[in-house]
Amino acid sequence: MRHGRPPVGLGHVDRLEGSEDLKERLRVVLATITGELTIEEACERLGVGPSRLHEMRREALEGALAGLAPGRAGRPRHDAETDTNRIRQLEKKVRDLEVDLQASLVRTEIALAMPHMFTRGAKKKARPKRRRSGGPSGRSGAGRGT
């Protein structure tokens, strides 16, 4: 008694992403490889000649072979140029933020040293008017006229 899932066969093609037309072509090509369809039947279903069918089968097998090639272990490497550009962008951003921070610190110091410069809507205090002196003697104008 065998254990596990029953074979799906050409049903695997249905699970792939792609147009239905391409999936049908792949099913027919694979059916010729497994012997489920003859070359003549496959040519009739696809509307192509035998030479085109053989070419399609070769291209499908080459694509499958390329897809099975072992890849490199680990994460893919990043492009060094992309990394360099990213580092430059981040360094520029750090410089800009440092300038903004310095400007903010200067504004804070000014605000603490001269708070009257930063009050909005507050009117200036009116100064009391000075009385004018009445003349060379320094008297006020109250004794005039006599």
CA distance 41 to 124: 99
- Whether the pLDDT of residue 62 is over 90: the answer is yes
Whether residue 134 is predicted with pLDDT greater than 80 in this model: the reply is: no
* pLDDT tens profile 63-99: 989 988 888 788 877 777 888 889 999 999 999 999 9
CA distance 58 to 34: 14
Compute the residue count for the chain: 146
Could you report the per-residue pLDDT of 43-57, keeping only the tens digit for each?
A: 999 999 999 999 999
Q: For the chain, what percent of residues have pLDDT higher than 90? A: 41
> Which phi-psi region, left, alpha or beta, contains residue 70 (left: φ > 0; alpha: ψ -120 to 50)?
beta
Mean pLDDT of 8-26: 86
Distance CA 14, CA 20 (A): 9
Comparing 73 with 39, which gets the higher pLDDT?
39
Whole-number pLDDT of residue 124: 60
pLDDT at 144: 53
